[in-house]
Amino acid sequence: MTHNLETLSDYLATGLDLVFVGLNPGLTSVRDGHYFASPRNRFWKAVNSAGIFDPPLEAETDHLALEQGIGFTDVVKRPSAGASDLRVADFREWAPVLKDKLERYAPKVVCFHGSVAYRNFLKYAEGVELRPELGGQDRPIGESTVFLVPNPSPANAVYSMNDLVGWYYQLRVLLEETTTER
Protein backbone atom coordinates (compact mmCIF):
# COMPACT_ATOMS: atom_id res chain seq x y z
CA MET A 1 0.00 0.00 0.00
CA THR A 2 1.37 3.40 -0.96
CA HIS A 3 0.87 6.27 1.42
CA ASN A 4 0.88 9.68 -0.21
CA LEU A 5 0.13 12.04 2.61
CA GLU A 6 1.90 14.77 4.44
CA THR A 7 2.88 13.49 7.87
CA LEU A 8 5.85 13.41 10.22
CA SER A 9 8.84 11.38 9.14
CA ASP A 10 9.79 8.51 11.41
CA TYR A 11 13.01 8.93 13.36
CA LEU A 12 14.06 5.29 13.36
CA ALA A 13 17.35 3.42 13.10
CA THR A 14 18.69 0.09 14.24
CA GLY A 15 20.34 -0.07 17.64
CA LEU A 16 18.15 2.53 19.38
CA ASP A 17 17.65 2.36 23.13
CA LEU A 18 14.15 3.82 22.98
CA VAL A 19 11.40 4.58 20.48
CA PHE A 20 8.52 6.84 21.50
CA VAL A 21 5.24 5.87 19.80
CA GLY A 22 2.51 8.50 19.64
CA LEU A 23 -1.09 7.91 18.66
CA ASN A 24 -0.82 9.98 15.48
CA PRO A 25 0.68 13.32 14.41
CA GLY A 26 -1.22 16.44 15.32
CA LEU A 27 -1.82 19.11 12.68
CA THR A 28 0.56 21.58 14.40
CA SER A 29 3.33 18.97 14.47
CA VAL A 30 2.91 18.19 10.77
CA ARG A 31 2.78 21.88 9.86
CA ASP A 32 5.95 22.59 11.88
CA GLY A 33 7.65 19.30 10.96
CA HIS A 34 8.44 18.30 14.56
CA TYR A 35 7.13 15.81 17.10
CA PHE A 36 5.01 17.28 19.91
CA ALA A 37 5.28 20.74 18.34
CA SER A 38 2.13 22.19 19.90
CA PRO A 39 3.20 24.58 22.67
CA ARG A 40 0.34 23.16 24.76
CA ASN A 41 1.67 19.60 24.61
CA ARG A 42 3.49 18.64 27.79
CA PHE A 43 5.85 16.02 26.30
CA TRP A 44 9.08 18.00 26.07
CA LYS A 45 8.78 19.61 29.50
CA ALA A 46 7.94 16.25 31.14
CA VAL A 47 10.66 14.13 29.48
CA ASN A 48 13.29 16.78 30.06
CA SER A 49 12.25 17.10 33.72
CA ALA A 50 12.66 13.31 34.02
CA GLY A 51 16.13 13.43 32.44
CA ILE A 52 15.38 11.25 29.40
CA PHE A 53 17.35 13.47 27.00
CA ASP A 54 20.90 14.55 27.78
CA PRO A 55 21.26 17.32 26.82
CA PRO A 56 17.55 18.24 26.90
CA LEU A 57 15.80 18.63 23.53
CA GLU A 58 12.67 20.43 22.37
CA ALA A 59 10.38 20.13 19.38
CA GLU A 60 12.69 22.15 17.09
CA THR A 61 15.65 19.87 17.92
CA ASP A 62 13.73 16.57 17.90
CA HIS A 63 15.90 15.22 15.06
CA LEU A 64 18.87 15.20 17.46
CA ALA A 65 17.13 12.46 19.49
CA LEU A 66 18.61 9.83 17.16
CA GLU A 67 22.10 10.90 18.29
CA GLN A 68 20.96 10.06 21.84
CA GLY A 69 19.67 6.62 20.80
CA ILE A 70 16.02 7.69 20.84
CA GLY A 71 13.51 7.55 17.99
CA PHE A 72 9.94 8.64 17.24
CA THR A 73 7.03 7.21 15.28
CA ASP A 74 3.25 6.84 15.57
CA VAL A 75 0.63 4.09 15.60
CA VAL A 76 -1.25 5.93 12.81
CA LYS A 77 0.67 8.21 10.45
CA ARG A 78 -2.46 10.08 9.27
CA PRO A 79 -2.47 13.51 10.92
CA SER A 80 -5.59 14.82 12.61
CA ALA A 81 -6.80 17.63 14.84
CA GLY A 82 -7.47 15.13 17.62
CA ALA A 83 -7.72 11.46 18.54
CA SER A 84 -11.49 11.50 18.01
CA ASP A 85 -10.86 12.05 14.28
CA LEU A 86 -9.22 8.62 13.92
CA ARG A 87 -11.23 5.76 12.44
CA VAL A 88 -11.00 1.98 12.85
CA ALA A 89 -9.74 1.87 9.25
CA ASP A 90 -6.73 4.02 10.28
CA PHE A 91 -5.71 1.49 12.94
CA ARG A 92 -6.33 -1.48 10.64
CA GLU A 93 -4.08 0.12 8.02
CA TRP A 94 -1.29 1.51 10.19
CA ALA A 95 -0.89 -0.72 13.27
CA PRO A 96 0.56 -3.66 11.25
CA VAL A 97 2.94 -1.19 9.55
CA LEU A 98 4.14 -0.04 12.98
CA LYS A 99 4.61 -3.63 14.15
CA ASP A 100 6.81 -4.35 11.11
CA LYS A 101 8.90 -1.23 11.78
CA LEU A 102 9.39 -2.04 15.46
CA GLU A 103 10.34 -5.64 14.74
CA ARG A 104 12.76 -4.53 12.01
CA TYR A 105 14.48 -1.78 14.03
CA ALA A 106 14.26 -3.66 17.36
CA PRO A 107 14.81 -0.85 19.88
CA LYS A 108 15.53 -1.98 23.43
CA VAL A 109 12.39 -0.22 24.71
CA VAL A 110 9.21 0.92 22.96
CA CYS A 111 7.24 3.58 24.86
CA PHE A 112 3.62 4.09 23.85
CA HIS A 113 1.98 7.42 24.66
CA GLY A 114 -1.44 6.61 26.05
CA SER A 115 -3.55 3.51 26.44
CA VAL A 116 -5.59 4.39 23.32
CA ALA A 117 -2.42 4.11 21.21
CA TYR A 118 -1.25 0.87 22.80
CA ARG A 119 -4.69 -0.75 23.01
CA ASN A 120 -5.35 -0.12 19.29
CA PHE A 121 -1.86 -1.33 18.37
CA LEU A 122 -2.52 -4.58 20.25
CA LYS A 123 -5.96 -5.03 18.70
CA TYR A 124 -5.07 -4.29 15.09
CA ALA A 125 -1.43 -5.49 14.90
CA GLU A 126 -1.52 -8.43 17.34
CA GLY A 127 -5.21 -9.40 17.44
CA VAL A 128 -5.26 -8.97 21.24
CA GLU A 129 -8.06 -7.24 23.17
CA LEU A 130 -6.52 -5.78 26.33
CA ARG A 131 -6.99 -2.82 28.65
CA PRO A 132 -3.38 -2.19 29.62
CA GLU A 133 -2.24 -0.53 32.83
CA LEU A 134 0.43 2.17 32.72
CA GLY A 135 4.05 1.09 33.17
CA GLY A 136 5.97 -1.97 32.01
CA GLN A 137 4.05 -4.45 29.85
CA ASP A 138 4.26 -8.25 29.84
CA ARG A 139 4.09 -8.51 26.04
CA PRO A 140 7.28 -7.65 24.15
CA ILE A 141 7.21 -6.54 20.52
CA GLY A 142 9.83 -8.76 18.93
CA GLU A 143 12.90 -8.25 21.15
CA SER A 144 11.67 -4.90 22.51
CA THR A 145 10.39 -4.28 26.03
CA VAL A 146 7.17 -2.23 26.06
CA PHE A 147 6.39 0.62 28.47
CA LEU A 148 3.16 2.65 28.58
CA VAL A 149 2.98 6.27 29.77
CA PRO A 150 -0.01 8.62 29.85
CA ASN A 151 -0.56 10.60 26.67
CA PRO A 152 1.05 14.03 27.30
CA SER A 153 -1.62 15.80 25.25
CA PRO A 154 -3.34 18.69 27.04
CA ALA A 155 -6.60 16.87 26.21
CA ASN A 156 -5.49 14.24 28.76
CA ALA A 157 -5.71 16.63 31.72
CA VAL A 158 -6.50 13.82 34.19
CA TYR A 159 -2.71 13.43 34.50
CA SER A 160 -0.82 16.36 36.00
CA MET A 161 2.64 17.47 34.91
CA ASN A 162 4.02 15.79 38.06
CA ASP A 163 2.27 12.54 37.07
CA LEU A 164 3.82 12.69 33.60
CA VAL A 165 7.30 13.41 34.96
CA GLY A 166 6.90 10.46 37.34
CA TRP A 167 6.01 8.06 34.52
CA TYR A 168 8.87 9.31 32.34
CA TYR A 169 11.20 8.93 35.31
CA GLN A 170 10.11 5.27 35.65
CA LEU A 171 10.81 4.90 31.93
CA ARG A 172 14.29 6.36 32.46
CA VAL A 173 14.98 3.83 35.25
CA LEU A 174 13.86 1.00 32.94
CA LEU A 175 16.11 2.36 30.18
CA GLU A 176 19.09 2.49 32.52
CA GLU A 177 18.43 -1.12 33.61
CA THR A 178 17.90 -2.31 30.02
CA THR A 179 20.95 -0.60 28.55
CA THR A 180 23.29 -1.91 31.27
CA GLU A 181 22.03 -5.49 30.71
CA ARG A 182 23.15 -5.62 27.07
CATH code for position 165: 3.40.470.10
Predicted confidence band at 80 (pLDDT cuts at 50, 70, 90)? very high
Judge whether 165 lies within some domain: yes
Tens digits of residue pLDDT in 112-144: 999 999 999 999 999 999 999 999 999 999 999
- What burial class does residue 157 get, using C-beta atoms within 10 Å of its C-beta: 0-12 exposed, 13-18 middle, 19+ buried? exposed
Judge whether 15 lies within some domain: no
Judge whether 91 lies within some domain: yes
Judge whether 175 lies within some domain: yes
Judge whether 51 lies within some domain: yes
Judge whether 44 lies within some domain: yes
Tens digits of residue pLDDT in 52-76: 999 999 999 999 999 999 999 999 9
Are 72 and 20 spatial neighbours (Cβ–Cβ below 8 Å)?
yes
In the three-class reduction of DSSP (H, G, I as helix; E, B as strand; rest coil), residue 115 is classed as: helix
Q: Is the pLDDT confidence value at 2 over 90?
A: no
pLDDT number for residue 90: 97
Judge whether 18 lies within some domain: no
Predicted confidence band at 1 (pLDDT cuts at 50, 70, 90)? very low
Judge whether 125 lies within some domain: yes
What does DSSP assign to residue 10?
P
CA contacts within 13 A on the Cβ side of 39:
0
Distance of CA 127 to the CA centre of its chain: 20
Predicted confidence band at 5 (pLDDT cuts at 50, 70, 90)? low
Q: pTM of this prediction?
A: 0.94
Q: Is the pLDDT confidence value at 11 over 60?
A: yes
Q: The domain containing residue 138 runs over which residues?
A: 26-181
The count of structural domains within the chain is: 1
Predicted confidence band at 14 (pLDDT cuts at 50, 70, 90)? very high
Distance of CA 89 to the CA centre of its chain: 20
Q: Is the pLDDT confidence value at 160 over 60?
A: yes
Q: Is the pLDDT confidence value at 179 over 90?
A: no
Query: Which segments within the chain are labelled E, that is strand?
Result: 18-22, 70-74, 109-113, 135-136, 145-149
Are 70 and 20 spatial neighbours (Cβ–Cβ below 8 Å)?
yes
